Amino acid sequence: MIDSIIGSLSLAKRFPRFAASAAPAAIRRFFEVAGIPIYRWAVQIWPDESGRNPYRLRNQSEMKPFACDVCGCVVYFENTKCLNCGAALAYLPDTGLIASVRSSGTDLWQSGRGLEYRPCLNYRKHDVCNWAVPADDPNLYCISCRLNRIIPDLSVVGNRTAWAKFEAAKRRLNYTLLNLELPVISKSEDSLYGVSYEFKADVPGTSVITGHAGGVITINLGEADDAERERRRLALGEPYRTILGHFRHEIAHYYWDRFFRDDESLCKFRSVFSDERSDYSGALTTYYQNGAREAWDEEFISAYASSHPWEDWAESWAHYLHMTDALETAAGARALFGLPEPDKPSLAITGSETFEQMLNAWLPLSYLLNNLNRSLGLPDAYPFVLSSVAIKKLRFVHECIVKYTTGLRLSQGWPSAGAGTCIGCTLD
């Protein structure tokens, strides 16, 4: 099937440009040694002759890697300062750019692009944010920080550092969500459908559970401690445990509510993930007592995903965001390899066939990521194997996002699932 999709994209015409001339010899060599046809990776990452790319982000005009607009040096998404020329930097969420900013003599900044902004209050006051607020926006906080409902007690030593780690991960999450055109609305703006974050520390006798309930995402501050997070990862037998992974997992539960609660499309969810009405707390207790079910990797993306359909959805959703972010970063990195300057390639979710294209790009990219890590003596960056059933779930997440963000009812237009696959309802 992948071959037929490749064929339909006229890759034979594009292949010579990217593989034979544009891609540096080292990249070509890597793919030759790995036995991966380079066009299957490159053509998904870089645009065609028209300058268009099927992965173009809908909201973005430029992509990572970001660059300082004073000296042109590449900078990270998290930077507040250019390490080459010293310019103060901020991320401008309304443009999707990192830009230099300088004081204009008031509480406003003048951006290097001629627009006025205010630093997010968490930037100015606590140095835990690098986003800006457009001058005409009355909010004191940026679109990411305004989601906070409870922040850590900053009088406790170490809490500000821990909080900064969480906010950096939350901004990266929100960057992806905004670019997927998913709603990012705080509970202070919409008490019913908004989302909020509460950062809490354990107190003697009470441990904080990281989790989601009714649009409130609670984060245990202890997860910012690398040694403690690693201890928990080993204790739970997890191959991967990161702060960003927690955010991507928990927000999945929030969007599940937005997508499916009280919606007839639940029958489609159940046909892919099975019936979420099974005993949730009992399922988690069983999982933590007995571990994952046998041969879980044949059907689930992670061991924890096998605990309950809600967790299966959340793990699949989190992996989907891992894929979109890494693919987008790879797309934006072409300039670092001296490849031709195209019309700002990026990742887009625009058509029913693009999940296949995305997957086609992801498999060799994750292979490359793991090999780069191994070459540096590090553990695999993506220590997972995607079974065909797990891929089916990822495709479902993709299709839900496409439908939701294009205003379609989630229940409409699915391919027939076949008789007997819909559990517990009369639709289909």
Binding stretches for Zn ion (CB under 5 A): 68, 70-71, 73, 82, 84-85, 87, 120, 122, 129, 131, 142, 145, 311, 314
**Shortest Å, Cβ 127 to Zn ion:** 11
Contact between residue 235 and residue 173 where contact means Cβ atoms under 8 Å apart: no
**Shortest Å, Cβ 332 to Zn ion:** 18
Six-digit token string for 107: 């509480």
48 versus 167: smaller Cβ distance to Zn ion: 167
- Provide the 10 A C-beta neighbour count for residue 15: 17
The residues pairing with 74 across neighbouring beta strands, listed in sequence order, are 67
Contact between residue 93 and residue 178 where contact means Cβ atoms under 8 Å apart: yes
**Shortest Å, Cβ 142 to Zn ion:** 3
**Shortest Å, Cβ 252 to Zn ion:** 7
85 versus 213: smaller Cβ distance to Zn ion: 85
Q: Answer positive or negative: Cα dihedral of 132, 137, 142, 144.
A: negative
The C-alpha atoms of residue 22 and residue 332 are separated, in whole angstroms, by 15
**Shortest Å, Cβ 145 to Zn ion:** 3
**Shortest Å, Cβ 161 to Zn ion:** 17
Six-digit token string for 365: 């990219």
139 versus 387: smaller Cβ distance to Zn ion: 139
Q: H helices within 35-191, ranges in order?
A: 38-45, 121-124, 159-179
Q: Please provide the distance, in angstroms rounded to a whole number, between the alpha carbons at the two ends of the chain.
A: 26
45 versus 120: smaller Cβ distance to Zn ion: 120
Q: Answer positive or negative: Cα dihedral of 410, 415, 421, 422.
A: positive
120 versus 347: smaller Cβ distance to Zn ion: 120
Q: What three-state secondary structure class fits 99?
A: strand
Phi, psi of 55 (to 5 degrees): -100, 15
Residue type at position 52: R
> What length does the chain have?
428
Question: What is the DSSP secondary-structure string of 210-264?
Answer: PEEETTEEEEEGGGG-HHHHHHHHHHTT-S---HHHHHHHHHHHHHHHHHHTT-T
**Shortest Å, Cβ 53 to Zn ion:** 27
**DSSP-assigned letter for residue 46:** S
209 versus 376: smaller Cβ distance to Zn ion: 209
Helix (H) or strand (E) holding 100: strand 97-103
71 versus 236: smaller Cβ distance to Zn ion: 71
**Shortest Å, Cβ 172 to Zn ion:** 13
Q: Report the candidate in 400, 237, 371 with the shortest Cα–Cα distance to residue 304.
A: 237
384 versus 414: smaller Cβ distance to Zn ion: 384
71 versus 234: smaller Cβ distance to Zn ion: 71
**Shortest Å, Cβ 273 to Zn ion:** 13
The C-alpha atoms of residue 342 and residue 61 are separated, in whole angstroms, by 12
